[in-house]
Structure 1
């Protein structure tokens, strides 16, 4: 496949040739000389003058073939658009590229002017010379809100091919608009659709090297999309490698290996594979407990147990049993799975409509964040939830997926996981101390350290093995317990901490951090009041104000186009 000839044509809004609407961007006041410039700037007063006094027509194009209604639609002047339509303009007039005013409104995602056009008879499914509909243009520019508005309110077709067989999902994947991809997959767009060159949306995401797009498509899809080949015989991973996107190629190849395990398809081995490392860890804990009892407490070559050492030793055994119970609880408990829609609703027939029952504006969990849409589970996730690729379900307050318990750590089992880690730390500390005491007080060893170690290794190999394994597990449990305790105190999860650069960007980011510290300080204040410590006082307001001054977020202005960039062309 010749990649140079298979690139998708990219929609741009750079000006083509200078027309009567072209105005210098640095001018203090716009130069309005005709109905086209008046429409572009939304100057209704001058527009009325040109039409009602000068007798200018609103149904004729300018020198480049563009209509006044298109200029008003491009810049979201709904009042001007309504005036133009009321005075004889054709709402479905097309320019030289067969683009309508609705196409121009889709470039910048203007919902208000789109409503004006559609309520006055604009053809929703009108296609231009390339077969692009308004939904295609919205996908090309990542106008997710606009696209969802057309789908929800006007039942727009969101999975239609253009002249090259490329759907809206192809375009969003190629351009790397993650939110648009989520919406389309959430609405059941077909991720396996192949264009005239045999490329799926995943092929185009791989060609452009968009890791976010590839990640969403892979997690929401199956092994079939990973192995589909284009007309030239290339898989998405091969195209990514050929384009030099090594990180994308590595991710796709790893996804192929993960979904193509040899045990898949065999019931017993598949179930065993889904259990993860939990059986291994359970066996290790049982083996260590047996080793501790036989090689430390009941070992006949050690001195007779004293009452104090025996008490601590059997206390460690009791703690070990409690740790095993907490381990089972963490592994088997529901971490906070968000239920999927019913199969009957999810697999609704095509003629019933494109999931019209999903009204994001009326959803109790919808906050306007498109990342809440789960294209895999087809649900609106609660805030702080995340889809787990291992469990294939969304988890509330997702912390992380722990392979050692073969379960996610989330809202419902996070405290259980923390208690399990604390008990494992205490058990390891007590049993390790008892083991060291028993070995150190053994009168059969020689005084030098080298001789002592060799003698212990020969006479008490079980004790040495136990101490070594106990130390490794104690280090791991202690580190995780400290980490989890710190995150719980700050009201943050491991997932949020790992993605803090993405989750906390912009104005609201540091406010979330301040809220965490504010909540923690208020907890301390309440505790001090309960304990009647009159000398303990923390001013939350002062500290919060100080943090806000120290961590002023850097606000990046929204991307805007210069006023002279008012020509819409497809290049």
Structure 2
């Protein structure tokens, strides 16, 4: 039992390595040997704040995540690493959106709206990775706050929707938050309408202006340019 629970100098345990290596069989063996005390190890983080749940999410392993949540409790999915990222951020970064059902069931709105130290949420990742279904799930759990989230560079989900030229995700964002989803400006004062005009995404620009109206059409960046200047 002591060997199963031993941690190295960085706080990494046998269960940690089993999750990192995506080996559910080894994890089950460790759980059988370690008993109820192993719960503490499943919640433990290494020197960078990475937990077993982070690695299970990174690997997209729903089976391992289910075991971790069952034994360590739903709060385990809310743990953040040294960059402020939850296991859901890790899953989003990898495009492992198949984990979102179990993660959101455990973490709820707090997980759906969680932002890392750069202000990036799982919804930002969902749009960047082209998963409209994941975006819908996040909004269902987290509400309008998910659709209007702004990172520390001023980039919204709508910004990335325009960047990806993904009209389906834009429709989801507009349905959830309407005008609020598209009005934010980035560090240069550019709105997603500026970006759409600059990229020649005329269909997207029409959707944006229909939602944002005159206020969006006349919004100027730090150079005094509107989206018409960039078109």
TM-score w.r.t. the length of structure 2 is 0.72
Residues 1:75 and 1:214: Cα distance change in structure 2 (over 3 Å): farther
Residues 1:179 and 1:91: Cα distance change in structure 2 (over 3 Å): same
2:48 alignment partner, SS class: coil
Residues 1:230 and 1:84: Cα distance change in structure 2 (over 3 Å): same
CA distance in 1, matches of 2:191, 2:114: 23
Deviation (angstroms), 1:232: 2.0
Deviation (angstroms), 1:67: 4.0
2:169 is the alignment partner of 1:216: no
- Highest RCO, 1 vs 2 (Cα 8 Å, sep ≥ 6): 1
Name the counterpart of 1:104. 55
Name the counterpart of 1:235. 191
Name the counterpart of 1:250. 202
For these two proteins, the number of residue pairs brought into alignment is 204
Please say if residues 76 and 112 of structure 1, whose CA atoms lie closer than 8 Å, have aligned partners that are also in contact.
no
Deviation (angstroms), 1:261: 6.5
2:127 is the alignment partner of 1:173: yes
Query: Equivalences for 1:512-527 in 2 at 5 Å?
Result: none
Q: Could you tell me which of 183, 188, 193 is aligned with 2:149?
A: 193
CA distance in 2, matches of 1:57, 1:258: 60
Q: Can you list the C-alpha shifts for 1:248-286, whole angstroms capped at 9, x where unaligned?
A: x32331113333668xxxxxxxxxxxxxxxxxxxxxxxx
Query: Equivalences for 1:281-360 in 2 at 5 Å?
Result: none
Name the counterpart of 2:162. 206
Aligned Cα root-mean-square deviation (Å): 3.0
Q: Which runs of 5+ in 2 are unaligned?
A: 215-231
Residues 1:77 and 1:161: Cα distance change in structure 2 (over 3 Å): same
Residues 1:215 and 1:108: Cα distance change in structure 2 (over 3 Å): farther
Query: Equivalences for 1:75-90 in 2 at 5 Å?
Result: 76-85=22-31, 86-87=33-34, 90=41
Query: Equivalences for 1:372-383 in 2 at 5 Å?
Result: none
Name the counterpart of 1:183. 137
Deviation (angstroms), 1:127: 0.3
Residues 1:56 and 1:197: Cα distance change in structure 2 (over 3 Å): same
Q: Which has the larger radius of gyration?
A: 1
TM-score w.r.t. the length of structure 1 is 0.32
Name the counterpart of 1:128. 81
Deviation (angstroms), 1:131: 0.5
Q: Which runs of 5+ in 1 are unaligned?
A: 1-50, 263-571
CA distance in 2, matches of 1:73, 1:57: 14
Residues 1:135 and 1:154: Cα distance change in structure 2 (over 3 Å): same
CA distance in 2, matches of 1:119, 1:180: 23
